[in-house]
Structures are given as C-alpha cells and as structure tokens.
Amino acid sequence: MKKRIFLILSIVLLFTSCKSNKEIVVKKVKKVSKNIYKVSFDKKKYPNANIVTILDKMDIKINKNNTKEIKKRVVKKIITKAGKKACSEFKIIYDKRYEKVEILKADIIKKNGKKVNISKKNIQVLDYNKDYLNKDFAIRKMIKIQIDSIEVGDIIDIIYIKNSNKEEKQSEHFTFASDEVILNKEINFIYPTDKEIKFQKKNFSNKVFESLEKIGDNKIYKIQKENLIQIIREKNMPKIEEIFPTIYYNTYKNWDEYANEIYDLAKIHHLVKSCSKKLSEKIVLKTDREERKVEKIENYLAKNIKLVPIYDLNKFEIREMSDIIKTGYGNSFERAILFKQMLDYQGIENRLIVLGPKENKFEEKKELLLVNQFNYIINEVKIKNKKYYIDTISKSNGINELEYQKRIGFPIAKKVEFIKIKEKEENLIISTLKGKIGIDKALTMSVENKYTGKEAEIIRKKYKSMSLADRKNDFVTELKNIALNVEPMTKGFILELGKNVTKFYAYKQNEILIKKDEFYYFNLPINIESLKKLEKNEKRKYDFENGENLKKITYLDLKISSEYEILEIPKSIVIENEIVKITRDIFVRENKIKITDTFELKEGVLKKEEYGKFYKEINELNKKVNRRVLLKERLKIK
C-alpha cells in the first residue's frame, strides 16, 4: 500500500503544483459520517425547505493531458410534497462528442431504512431540451433518471462518473452557497504532482475546511463546508461568487494561452473565400460609399444569417463560409468571420474582437483568468479614422453600433491586447416641458422628449414596429397616465425616428387648480425618475448592485396667470450615492416657475446598510406633497 503523506502548511510543496496559492491554509477536513442517512437538520433554521441535500460531493480528476473525470455523489432527503415533485427526476448533462457518463448508483432509501434500486428502465438518454434550436451546435445530451416511487421522508442517493477525452484547458469556479439547503458540500481536486494548477479563493472563512495531501503521483486538494448558507434571492444582488465562499481553479498559464486557442480557430479563414466575394458583389455596388457598403452587408447578415448562441467559443470548429450562407445560420464567430471576409473584399479595414465583460468587473477579477467571460465575437470596422463596433444581429438605417457599455475586449491575435469598448453615445433623455396655467384654471402643456444612445434604440424599435392604430392607442394611454381630465392638443405623437429620437406632443388638463379654503394648489406635472428595481422593503440581506448608466434631464418652464400669487413651492433636492445622483433646482420670478431635474443612474454598488435610508428618500420624492405648489388669488384693486 502506498504511504499516505499529509502536507501540513508545506509551503514549498504547495507552490510546486499550485501556483498563486498563497491564500490556501491547510486545515483538517471533517470526515463524512458513514451513516449519512440518519443525519438530522434544524427545521427552525430552514422553515421553507422542501428538500435537504445531505451530501453534495464531487471528485475532479485532471490528468496530465488535460482530460478530466468527474465523480459526483448527491444524497437528498424529501421533506415536503413539493420536494417530492422536485425530486421526481434527476438530470445529468454532457457533451455527446467527447464525454461519457456512467451511473454507479441510483438508490432510494425508504423511511424504514429499506434500500430500493432505481430500475434501468427508469434511466433515459435524451437530447438536451435547451439545445433544440441550436441546429449543428446542439451537441449536449441529457441522462434523465425517473424517480417515481419516492415519498416524503425518503432519501435518494445517486453516484455517477462523467469522463471527458477532450484535451482542453480548464477554467471553472464553485461556490459554497446554494438556493437549496445543503448540509455538507465537498470538492476534491485530484491532479499529478508535477502539474501546474492555479487555485484562488474568495470570501473563505474559518468555517471552510481544507487539506492538501499526496498519494503516489497525485495530489488531492480537498475543500469542505457544512451547513451552507441558503441564498434568499433579492433584486439587483451581486453575483453569488462575489458574496459567498468560492474556489476558482485554472490550468491556463495566462491570457495569451486562451487568445491562441481563439486565434488558431480563426486563422484558417483569413483568406477571402469565393462565396464571400460573390455574395459581397451581389449586395453592394462599386459606387457605394464605404459607410453604405458596411450598412448593406450588415443588414444582409441581420436578415439572412440567423444567430445561434453557443456556450463556449473554443468548443466548436468554424464551418465553411459556403455552409453558413447556404444554411442561413451561424454562431457569433462564424457570422463575424463572414462579415470580415466581405469587408476585406471591399477593401474596408476591420478586425475581429472577442467581447468580454464590463470594464469594472474585469479589472476586479483579471487575475482569475475567467476566460469564459470572453465568449462572443463582434467586428471593429474603421472608416475615415473612426472605429465602429458592430454586431450584425439587427437591421438599421446607417451603420448600426450596438450599445456596449464600457466593455472589455481583445482583437483576435496570438497575444492578448485588451481594449476598452466604450458606448458610442451617452444614454440620455432630455425632456422639455413648456406650459401655462390660465385664469380658467386649466394647464396647457407641450412636451418634447429627446433620446440618445440605448434609450433612442428602445424608443425607435418600439414605434417602428407599431401600426398607426397602436401608436394612437399608446398616445391615449400616455395622456391617461398624466390625469383623467386630460385632452389632446396634437393628434398623436410627432415622432422623429432617426439616429437620435424625438417625441413631441401637447395636451390640456382642465381644472388643474384645486381650491382649499382661500387657497389653490396643484402638483407639478413632473416626477423624479423612479428606480423600478428597488425592493419594496427597507432592509436587504445583500448589497444593491446597479449595472446601468442613464441620465435624464427635465426642464420645466411654467407660466402662471397673474391672477394668482405663488406662496409656496417644493424644495430643491440633492441626493447622491454610489449608484445615483438626483438634483432639483427651482427658480421663481414674476409668476414663472423654472425647474431643472437631473436623474443620473451610475454603475456601482450601494451597501446594504445604506439601502434603507436611500429607499425612504426615493419614495418620499414622488409623494404629491413634494410636488405641490400653493397659490392664492391676488386682491383685485377696484
């Protein structure tokens, strides 16, 4: 028998196989009880539990040549009828091209302790249902274990092995927290002693147990946690790996290795194929300007080559361009290469860009080598020294740049050169309201909204797809949302749906002044933009993360009849934190009220401790009392 050697804080041996492992602290891993079926759990701690996972154990064996074997054991106890339904089937997803699955054990342990084997008749191999629209890229299969004879109080125990014969680099992470109740989670990484693997930990605590040992020619790095935190989901919470204990492992040495994989896939398609030439000649004219050529080719691809999503760029060979044209579909890589070949033939400077995450998120995790975040290809096109970042998925008038808000990417090449892809235009809404309240106590108002950036795209798509009747109904709805006693002064919206979008309309609101004793009051016809994503409570378990950028400026110019004296107006506003800036400036002179409202939404994270105060402030802003103007009739001099 091979002698087992335990490594206790052996820094030298640790670094020879686990590069960048300065955070690994070796602790004794708790042994799993042999009689795990008799384990109990605190029902008061998990009052909503339908299922309890007694054990979630995974052995990940990584071989010298980067092939991989995963052995998984899952033991679950059924607590309620809802849990019985949820556990009526067990699914294992695998890649049919190079993965094989073997079921080692599939048992039901009844409440009386009797063990019942799940029949082989209850085990099916099916096409993975989420792949059914993915055509040539539908490469995943699913083993479904039908579990019919379970009751509340029963336990299911399943063990399987998934083998992969594909020699590929690994980049994955596992988080020790779950939506389910998990009493014990264990991951064992098994790998040759002379193999370099990067392990990096985030949010680990003393309650995560670890050990590193050597058995023969392999090392085993074990991580275990008991009583995992059950995640209670909230709107706009950060990703769970940013909050809870997470282990990242990587067999890539650096970013260049991933860039090389992508480069090798693309390099055989660098020459323009005859089918791409012919298609390009068919679409554009020699006399077309460069901008027009790009627009025509882009629109052709949007209309005729359907985008099929894939989950990993480097898991698929690029098909021939003739096949893509003939079949009428392709993944982002294939469509971008076809676009590039046609632009190359037209002599238009361009290159392929691997699109990644947002800039702020990337910088935080750059050292983790999360290559799967770079999983989509777009084109960078240069015309008259101006760069356009184009994804050919939607038709447009003019060159259609999609909104990539402060994203990171890199050009396809042997070495990585990260570039920042900034949004082409600010996401901006400017509203100008001009109105008058006359002696008849009615308000007449004109409204002009101007949209740029992503906001323009949203409005443009909305109204271009609408019939005239639907546009009219939309106009009526917008007026009703102002007040019930509103009548139109324009026949509908007056729209300009170009690169920037303008929406104009006018209305009259009768009897806007409300009399109370000897005073009159009305509510300003503007609201501070609301944060629709806010939870309807003041307390949060997790921080509030906002990933959008938006600026809205509202100008109100309101003239009030000289028959009235302005006694009281709303207060100015200043609210600013990590995710929002809100201001209101008010100016009154000679019965004219001028207001400038600014609402600026910023990418950022608001700490949960600050959320309650912010929530109250936002809700207070739009209360009618905070928009109220108080008037009094002037004394008439006889």
Phi/psi region, residue 206 (left: phi>0; alpha: psi -120 to 50; beta: rest), is alpha
Nearest residue to 301 (alpha-carbon basis) of 353, 378, 356: 378
* pLDDT exceeds cutoff 50 at 25: no
If one counts every other C-beta atom within 10 angstroms of the C-beta of residue 269, the result is 20
- pLDDT above 90 for 66: yes
185, part of any domain:
yes
**Is 582 inside any structural domain?**
yes
- d(CA 70, CA 169) in angstroms, rounded, equals 15
Average pLDDT over residues 535-562: 87
User: Over the chain, what is the mean pLDDT?
Assistant: 87
CATH number reported for the structural domain that contains residue 499 in this entry: 2.60.120.1130
Q: 375 pLDDT exceeds 70?
A: yes
Structural domain contains residue 583: yes
Beta-bridge partners for 633 = 564
Q: Which amino acid is at 156?
A: I
CA angle 626, 631, 634 (to 5 degrees): 165
| Residue 537 confidence (pLDDT) | 65
Q: Has residue 136 got a pLDDT over 90?
A: no
Q: What is the largest CA-CA distance in the chain?
A: 116
Compute the average pLDDT of residues 293-320. 91
Residues 229 and 298 in one domain: no
**What is the rounded average pLDDT of the residues 365-373?**
90
The structure tokens listed for 477 are 């709805």
HSE, CB side, 13 Å, CA atoms: give it for residue 166: 15
Residue 474 sits in the same domain as residue 619:
yes
Examine residue 584 and state whether it is found in any structural domain, yes or no: yes
Q: Which two tokens stand for residue 182?
A: 């998990």
Residues 515 and 565 occupy one common structural domain: yes
Mean pLDDT of 463-468: 90
Give, as one character, the DSSP assignment of residue 22.
Answer: T
Phi-psi region of 346 (alpha: psi -120 to 50; beta: other; left: phi over 0): alpha
- Those residues with Cβ within 8 angstroms of residue 219's Cβ, 6 or more apart along the chain or in another chain: 17, 190, 191, 192, 193, 212, 213
In this prediction, residue 612 has a pLDDT band, given cuts at 50, 70 and 90, of confident
Query: Looking at residue 24, what is its pLDDT?
Result: 43
pLDDT at 41 over 60: yes
Distances in whole angstroms, Cα of residue 331 to Cα of each of 234, 354, 630: 33, 13, 61
Q: Sort residue 563 into left (φ over 0), alpha (ψ -120 to 50) or beta.
A: alpha
Over residues 194-211, the mean pLDDT reads: 90
pLDDT value, residue 44: 80
pTM over 0.85: no
Q: What are the DSSP calls for 502-535, one per residue?
A: EEEEEEEETT--EEETTEEEEE-S--PPP-TTS-
529 within 8 A of 598, measured Cβ to Cβ: no
Whether 33 is in a domain gets the answer yes
Write the CATH number for 380.
3.10.620.30
Q: What is residue 619's three-state secondary structure?
A: helix
Average pLDDT over every residue of 372-385? 92
576 and 455 within one domain: yes
Domain count, the chain: 3
Same domain, 508 and 597: yes
The reported pLDDT for the residue numbered 470 is: 94
Distance in angstroms (rounded) separating the CA atoms of residues 522 and 435:
13
Kindly state whether residues 384 and 439 are assigned to the same domain: no
CA–CA gap between residue 485 and residue 512 (Å, rounded): 9
What number of residues does the chain have? Answer: 638
Q: What is the pLDDT of residue 148?
A: 85
User: Does residue 417 sit in the same domain as residue 435?
Assistant: no
Least confident of 4-18, 241-255, 337-351, 591-605: 4-18
Tens of pLDDT, residue by residue over 162-181, are: 999 999 999 999 999 999 99
Which of 197, 219, 247 terminates a domain? The answer is 247
Average pLDDT over residues 302-308: 92
Q: Do 402 and 434 fall into the same domain?
A: no
Residue 411 lies in a domain: yes
In a domain, 252, yes or no: no
Q: Which range marks the domain in which residue 302 is found?
A: 257-421
Tokens of residue 633, six digits? 């009739």
- What's 176's DSSP letter? S
CATH number assigned to the domain comprising residue 221: 2.60.40.3140
CA distance 520 to 523: 11
Which of 391, 362, 392, 385 has its CA nearest to residue 374? 362
CA pair distance 593, 574, nearest whole angstrom: 19
Look at residue 638 and tell me if it is in a domain: no
Sequence-distant (≥ 6) Cβ neighbours of residue 423 within 8 angstroms: 403, 404, 405, 406, 453, 454, 549
| Cβ 482 vs Cβ 507: under 8 Å | yes
Q: How confident is the model at residue 64 (pLDDT cuts 50, 70, 90)?
A: very high
Choosing from 371, 405, 421, the residue where a domain stops is 421
Query: For 4-13, 227-236, 308-317, 411-420, which range has the lowest pLDDT when averaged over its residues?
Result: 4-13
276: phi then psi, degrees, rounded to nearest 5: -70, -40
Share of the chain above pLDDT 70, in %: 90
230 shares its domain with 87: yes
pLDDT in tens, 503-548: 999 999 999 999 988 899 998 888 776 666 566 666 888 999 988 8
Query: Which 3 state secondary structure label does DSSP give 470?
Result: helix
Q: Which two tokens stand for residue 82?
A: 């809802």
Per-residue confidence (pLDDT) for residue 351, from 0 to 100? 94
Same domain, 416 and 491: no
The reply to whether 361 and 456 lie within a common domain is no
Give the pLDDT band of residue 21 (cuts 50, 70, 90). very low
Interval 111-137 mean pLDDT: 86
User: Could you give the CA distance from residue 462 to residue 623 in angstroms, rounded to a whole number?
Assistant: 30
Nearest partner of 300 among 389, 395, 377, judged by Cα: 395
Q: Half-sphere exposure of residue 131, counting CA atoms within 13 Å on the CB side?
A: 17
Report the share of the chain in percent with pLDDT over 90: 63
User: 273 with 135, same domain?
Assistant: no
Distance of CA 163 to the CA centre of its chain: 31
Question: Given strand 419-421, what is the order of strands in its sheet?
Answer: 386-390, 376-383, 350-358, 407-411, 419-421
Domain boundary (405, 421, 437) is at: 421
Amino acid found at 546: N
Q: Hey, what are 195's tokens? A: 């193999």
Q: Which helix (H) or strand (E) holds 73?
A: strand 68-78
Q: CB neighbours (10 Å) of residue 590? A: 8
DSSP string, 533-577: TS-SSS--SS-EEE---EEEEEEEEEEE-TTEEEEE-PPPEEEE-
pLDDT tier for residue 12 given thresholds of 50, 70 and 90: very low
Among residues 377, 372, 407, 366, the alpha carbon closest in space to that of 254 is found at 366
Say yes or no to pLDDT of 638 above 90.
no
